Amino acid sequence: MVSDRAMRTMIGLCTVILIAAALRAADTVFAPIAVALFVIALVRPVQRGIQPRAGAAIAALATMLLALVAVAALAVLSAWAFGRVGQWTIVNAAALQALYVQKLALLQDAGIPAEAMAGLFDMRLMVRLAQQVTAQLQGVLSFTVVTLVFVILGLLEVDVARRQLEALRDSPAAAALLRAASRTAAKLRAYMAVRTAMSILTGLAVWAFARAMGLELAEEWGLIAFVLNYIPFIGPLVATVFPTAFAALQFGTWQVAVTVFAALQVIQFLSGSYIEPRVAGRRLAVSPFLVLVAVFLGAFLWGIIGAFIGVPILIAILCICDEFEQSRWAARLFSGLDAEPVMRRDSGGTGSA
């Protein structure tokens, strides 16, 4: 006979699977909501500063415009960098394909069978890739519009939701949720501040190295590294592989490609695995394994948006778990620290959300 604890465990696993399936099936609804809540947490201090002098509606509108300008600037820089790389590829397509064929011939002369790779690089593939990128950009535009609508509505309702939770003084769950929301907002702002600083540092380092190596499109590679660094693990990997491939095509030697790859890996390691943990300190300590799971699970559920929002969602979940005795063990287990749990020891979340 199955014990009650085993039955509850199986029911819990089934519930998690069903929730994940629902999140994936309704990504057009849940993904914009998740990103909107994340944006609201980031810009909430701006709204609190404007609202006493201008009113709730004006404060929400001004805050939304500030978020829109920041997102638009990031999108324009990304589009410019990736567009320049695409244009360079199209302009030099003939030379790149000739170099590609030359390398295949060298492989065949060395006794390495390369017939199956002969048709992988052609203009038709590049056209299809460009069409896919265009479709993705259109999808991001519609996603951004829906997200901004949720941001506006959320900024208008955040004070109402806080007052409603504060009114439930006799409900421990309401008080716990209010504390979790406050600490989550503070942690997310700290997370984005650290991530932005490290992204700028990484982008500048990649740009300087590309210029020193004589690699074409040095500014574009720096901007791409800056943008992709916001996505843990996946972004830095892509930002390393692309310049390496272009270095192999530009210089025509594998030695230069290996040098570029190794140097970029060192830059990414110093930024993401050495400097960032020391800058973030104990406040944002989360198990690296769980961060990796959050990134790939988010990418599986919602694509590139999920990969970006996966870690903030993880931070929010751990903050909520830490507020309830039954789930506090999860916050301690996945804090990534040997000492007392980082979720309760930090003092960065005492302010209102």
Residues 6+ apart with CB under 8 A from 313: 34, 294, 298
What does pTM read for this prediction? 0.78
- For residue 159, count other CB atoms closer than 10 A to its CB: 16
Highest mean pLDDT among 47-61, 67-81, 195-209: 195-209
In tens, the pLDDT along 328-353 reads 887 887 776 554 444 444 444 444 45
DSSP 270: I
**How many of the other CB atoms lie within 10 Å of CB of 116?**
7
How is the chain split into domains, by residue range? 27-345
Q: What are phi and psi of 26, to 5 degrees?
A: -110, 45
In terms of Cβ atoms closer than 10 Å to its own Cβ (0-12, 13-18, 19+), residue 12 is exposed
Q: Which one is predicted more confidently, 99 or 16?
A: 16
pLDDT in tens, 300-318: 888 888 888 998 999 998 8
- Give the mean model confidence (pLDDT) for residues 230-239: 84
E strands, 106-264, in order: none
What's the pLDDT score for residue 348?
43
Q: How far is CA 47 from CA 55, 67, 155, in A?
A: 10, 11, 8
Residue 47's contacts (CB-CB under 8 Å, 6 or more residues apart) are 59, 60, 62, 63, 155, 158
CA distance 306 to 232: 11
Where does the pLDDT of residue 200 fall: very low under 50, low under 70, confident under 90, or very high at 90 and above? Answer: very high
Q: Letter for the amino acid at 71?
A: V
Q: For residue range 109-127, list pLDDT tens digits in order.
A: 666 555 544 444 555 555 5
Instruction: Please say if the pLDDT value at position 224 is more than 70.
Output: yes
* Residue 91: burial class (beta carbons within 10 Å; 0-12, 13-18, 19+): exposed
CB 319 within 8 A of CB 183: yes
Q: Mean pLDDT lowest for which of 49-58, 98-107, 150-159, 261-270?
A: 98-107
Host H or E run for residue 229: none
DSSP symbol at 170:
T
Q: Which residue has the tokens 């800056």?
A: 226
Q: State residue 352's pLDDT score.
A: 45
In the structure, what pLDDT confidence band is assigned to residue 70 with cuts at 50, 70 and 90?
Answer: confident
**Distance between CA atoms of residues 28 and 147, nearest Å:** 10
Q: What is the pLDDT of residues 150-198, one digit of tens each?
A: 888 888 888 888 888 888 777 788 888 888 888 899 999 988 988 898 8
CA distance 319 to 350: 13
* Model pLDDT for residues 18-55, shown as the tens digit of each residue: 888 888 888 888 989 999 999 999 988 888 888 888 88
pLDDT of residue 203: 92
